[in-house]
Structure formats: C-alpha cells, structure tokens
C-alpha cells in the first residue's frame, strides 16, 4: 500500500467563526475520506502550540553552515557550537523533517494587517534553515514533489483589479516564499476567500453577494484539491 502524509497547519486565532480554519478542516476531512488508511494526517495549531521564536544560536549556527555550502541535515548537529546552538537545532530539525516527510502541506492563513499571522511567520522562520531543502548530490530542491495548499482568508477585497490589490502582502509573499524554497508553481495552490467580514462590517455589507460567491468558489476548489 502506498502511503501519503498531510501536514496541516492552522495559524489564525481560534475564533469560532474562523474562515481559514473552517476551510482547512473541510479539506482535511475530504482528504482523509479520500485516502483512508493510506493517509496520515498531522495537524498543528500554531496558536495553541506556537513555534518558538528564533534565538541567537539559530543565526550563528545557520551562518556557519551556510559558509560551508550545502551541508546534509545529518551533519548539522556536529557543527553546533555550545548549548544555545544545540538547543536551536533541537527545536528546528523536527520541523524540517516533518515538512520533508509531507506529500501535501495544508496551511490555513488569514490576512492580519495586510500579511500573514506572526504564528505562521515563526514557523516559516524556524524551518528556513540554510541548505535544508537542497539535495547535496544533485542541487535539486527536496520539495520538488511537495504539494502546498493554502486556504487564505481576507476580510476585505484584494483580488487583481480591486482598489486594494497593491496592499496584498499575504498571497504574493506566500507564493514567492514557497517557489523560492523549490515548490514548483504547478504544485502550489493558493485558494482565497475574499470579503469574509462583509456580514459584520457595515462598510462591506453591500458586498455580501460577492463574499458568498468567493467562499463557495474556495470550498469547491479545495474539495477538488483534497480528492485529487
């Protein structure tokens, strides 16, 4: 039996009406039903179980490793100098291994202050260790077969052609980050529900039909991705 792993991360506050969490839960449910016993679902709530912020030892170890070119992950621990660097690597290596093991990465990402939540940024900062995703033998990205699915939620409207398009530092950032990490563009799927505050923000009330359509489209797309 061929097995497959879903790494599911939620980064928004745990509000009962969280759109991003509802979307990732919907995807995960459909994914589990589709894969059955062959699927392993790993879920981390980055609010309830946050990734620690980087310490100085992370930076000093990372620079030392980077100066040597691409260092295999198994050899990084031997380069750690002192307890602070060892502690930082102890926090970092399991997260990198978890990402490398995943076939699909599912991220729930609301827009906070025009960009991603600090909870997700802490995870991104921690996993982005120099050379971690480069095959030392070939130079190829170790994530070239990884699929990333982002369920994004935005209270307002930021789609191309809208007045606030230029204020979107959420989706362009995630697209640039994962493609830089080596995830192929065709395996990176960012699905956004727009205008999620249309029901409760008076200035957006007239846009309720657009909000409902955006949410429906996001659900449909995620359902398709979950079973493909």
Its CATH class, for the domain covering 4-51+98-226, is: alpha beta
- Any binding-site annotation on 1? no
If pLDDT is split at 50, 70 and 90, which confidence band does 129 have? very high
Does the annotation flag 177 for ligand binding?
no
1 has pLDDT over 70: no
Q: Any binding-site annotation on 158?
A: no
Angle at alpha carbon of residue 129, lines to 127 and 132, rounded to 5°: 95
Residue 205 marked as a ligand binder: no
What's the pTM value of the predicted model, to 2 decimals?
0.96
CA neighbor of 193 nearest in space, from 20, 17, 21, 31: 20
CB atoms < 10 A from the CB of 195, how many? 25
20 is known to lie in a ligand binding site: yes
Structural contact between residues 27 and 106, judged by C-beta atoms closer than 8 angstroms = yes
pLDDT band at 169 (very low <50, low <70, confident <90, very high): very high
- Given this model, what pLDDT does residue 85 score? 98
User: Residues 31, 39: contact at Cβ < 8 Å?
Assistant: yes
Alpha helices, H only, the chain: 19-35, 56-67, 73-76, 82-101, 118-127, 171-181, 208-226
Is 183 annotated in a binding site? The answer is no
Q: Is residue 173 annotated as involved in ligand binding?
A: no
**What is the rounded average pLDDT for all residues in the chain?**
97
Is residue 61 over pLDDT 90? yes
């Amino acid at each position: 039996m061929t097995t497959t792993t879903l790494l599911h991360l939620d980064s928004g506050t745990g509000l009962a009406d969280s759109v991003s969490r509802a979307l990732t839960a919907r995807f995960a449910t459909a994914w589990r039903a589709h894969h059955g016993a062959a699927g392993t679902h790993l879920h981390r709530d980055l609010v309830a179980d946050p990734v620690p912020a980087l310490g100085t030892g992370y930076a000093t170890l990372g620079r030392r490793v980077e100066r040597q070119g691409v260092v295999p992950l198994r050899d990084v621990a031997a380069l750690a100098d002192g307890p602070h660097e060892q502690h930082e690597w102890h926090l970092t290596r399991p997260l990198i291994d978890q990402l490398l093991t995943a076939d699909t990465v599912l991220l729930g990402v609301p827009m906070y202050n025009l960009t991603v939540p600090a909870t997700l940024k802490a995870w991104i900062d921690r996993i982005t260790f120099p050379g971690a995703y480069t095959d030392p033998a070939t130079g190829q990205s170790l994530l070239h077969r990884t699929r990333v699915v982002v369920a994004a939620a935005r209270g307002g409207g930021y789609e191309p052609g809208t007045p606030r398009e230029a204020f979107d530092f959420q989706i362009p950032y995630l697209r640039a980050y994962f493609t830089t990490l080596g995830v192929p563009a065709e395996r990176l799927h960012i699905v956004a529900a727009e205008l999620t505050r249309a029901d409760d923000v008076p200035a957006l009330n007239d846009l309720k039909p657009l909000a409902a359509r955006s949410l429906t489209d996001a659900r449909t797309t995620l359902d398709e991705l979950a079973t493909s």
